[in-house]
């Protein structure tokens, strides 16, 4: 899904980094997912960077 959203001009993140840049460490690894327009996802990422 992250790849499709990015191809459409949006973004996908876990709040700190791109979903497609995450290297899995376990078979059924779970991470938070935020999908949406680039502007909205940039805002969410900036909120999480302040934590």
Residue 9 confidence (pLDDT) above 80 = yes
Indicate the domain borders of the chain. 2-21+32-49
Give the residue-averaged pLDDT of 5-27.
Answer: 95
Residue 25 confidence (pLDDT) above 80 = yes
Give the residue-averaged pLDDT of 14-42.
Answer: 94
State the burial class of residue 48 (Cβ atoms within 10 Å of its Cβ: 0-12, 13-18, 19+): middle
Distance CA 51, CA 3 (A): 27
Sole residue written with tokens 């992250």 = 2
Give the pLDDT of residue 50.
78
Sole residue written with tokens 């290297």 = 23
Report if pTM > 0.85.
Answer: no
Distance CA 23, CA 16 (A): 14
């Amino acid at each position: 899904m992250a790849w499709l959203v990015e191809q459409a001009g949006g973004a996908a993140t876990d709040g700190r980094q791109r979903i497609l840049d995450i290297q899995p460490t376990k078979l059924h690894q779970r991470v938070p997912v935020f999908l949406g327009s680039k502007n909205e996802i940039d805002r969410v990422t900036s909120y999480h960077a302040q934590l």
